[in-house]
Structure 1
Amino acid sequence: MIVVKPESKKEVAILEAGREFFWKYGFRKVTVDEICKAAGVSKMTFYRYFKDKAALAKTIFDNEVEKAIEQFRQIMQSDLTVPEKMKHILLMKSASVNNISSDFINDFYSDNGSGLKAHIEQKTATSWGTILDVYRQAQLQGVFRKDMKPELLLYISQKVTDLFNDPYLTSLCGGPAGVIMEMARLFTYGISPDPSAPENQ
């Protein structure tokens, strides 16, 4: 699904205010009145663009997912080496995890009455399908091994983000960036020597 671009500055203001409040306080604690006040618009204007607070939250979440998918496509279409591609993908994943409020996500999953849980699950499934298509295309182009299972790569990449700030690993690798680079190399070469390293040429 392509997210429709905001129609006006007022709609942009509502989206930005909603994002700031949702990221800071979650979905449930924030009111439409607070969003309108921060955006400098009336409630009438709010309801001109969004049916309710849940509709705003869904749009904001969709926008974040679409931005991430576009970044992912740009990384995969770039001339970066495979390890650099994986590093940037893992960095992007780490940033998105830290970027979206855990309260916001928890509220999404626990608020069945507004359809937020079903929406995030559908959007996630759609984005996963897009990512898998891009990975499979990369296989056809020889970027990845032909016998690689893209589903495994996607699944593991969703699980490793907790490791980026693990105290032991950050100490071992010299910080979160070092952990990400080591994970990218592990994804790319396993435990085989890096063929691009000077000592292996």
Structure 2
Amino acid sequence: MFVVKPESKKEAAILEAGRELFWKYGFRKVSVDEICKAAGVSKMTFYRYFNDKATLAKKIFDNELEKSMEQFRKIMQSGISVPEKMKHILQMKSESVKNISGDFIRDFYSDNESGLKAHIEQKTASSWETILDVYRQAQQRGEFRKDMKPEILLYISQKVTDLFNDPYLTGLCGGPAGVIMELARLFTYGISPDPFVPENQ
């Protein structure tokens, strides 16, 4: 499941347990003891692989990000039509936010003490540079508008995490995951009707 292959089954169990617990309860509410119990390992084993809970969270985030980037590259390199590519990218985005709690998003994107927020911002910026390169290649192939400025998407993405904590938006969209999907649709389709969603939905 993980892009960066774990050293052992025990490390893989810790990564999977941490992912499930963080996704459900966020970063702050989950303890190392709870992760160890869910993974079926001792604390000594945990610290053999990870310095602390934040180190584990960063590796989990890196694995998930790289997995998403691999999927994105495959979609963009496929021979399907541009609308179909956008449809698949949205579906991928939808899958990536499934079962993620509001606590997870708030914790991961606002935790300054552990360095988690800075780590995520750095990794996300790097991934967006890759995405921009892929979009520019698509422009050169004539798949995207020639006058589209991919850099605008990068700038907006750097500001968008503040919206995850906005009570009005989260209430309007049914939670932080809903905000993410609304923004993804806006980036992809603008304000025109989504061709893949029936008009009565």
Equivalent residues of 1:82, 1:143 under 8 A apart: yes
Structure 1 position 120, deviation (Å): 1.1
Pairwise CA RMSD: 3.1
Equivalent position of 2:165 in the other structure: none
- Bigger Rg, which one: 1
How many aligned residue pairs are there? 174
Describe the SS at the equivalent of 1:68: helix
> Identity rate of aligned residues, in percent?
77
Equivalent position of 2:122 in the other structure: 122
Structure 1 position 7, deviation (Å): 1.0
Q: Do residues 109 (structure 1) and 81 (structure 2) align? A: no
Equivalent position of 1:33 in the other structure: 33
Alignment of 1:1-201 (within 5 A): 4-152=4-152, 186=189
Give the unaligned 5+ runs of structure 1. 168-175, 195-201
Give the unaligned 5+ runs of structure 2. 161-168, 175-180, 196-201
In the superposition, relative to structure 1, how do residues 166 and 37 fare at CA in structure 2: closer, same or farther (>3 Å)? closer
Describe the SS at the equivalent of 1:130: helix
Structure 1 stretches (4+) deviating beyond 4 angstroms? 153-159
Describe the SS at the equivalent of 1:55: helix
Structure 1 position 147, deviation (Å): 2.3
Equivalent residues of 1:18, 1:57 under 8 A apart: yes
Structure 1 position 91, deviation (Å): 1.9
Structure 1 position 157, deviation (Å): 8.8
Structure 1 position 183, deviation (Å): 8.5
Describe the SS at the equivalent of 1:147: coil
Equivalent residues of 1:90, 1:157 under 8 A apart: no
In the superposition, relative to structure 1, how do residues 111 and 15 fare at CA in structure 2: closer, same or farther (>3 Å)? same
Equivalent residues of 2:24, 2:99 under 8 A apart: no
In the superposition, relative to structure 1, how do residues 166 and 45 fare at CA in structure 2: closer, same or farther (>3 Å)? closer
In the superposition, relative to structure 1, how do residues 157 and 53 fare at CA in structure 2: closer, same or farther (>3 Å)? closer
Q: Structure 1 residues 112-121 or 92-101, which shifts more?
A: 92-101
TM-score between the two structures when normalised by the length of structure 2: 0.74
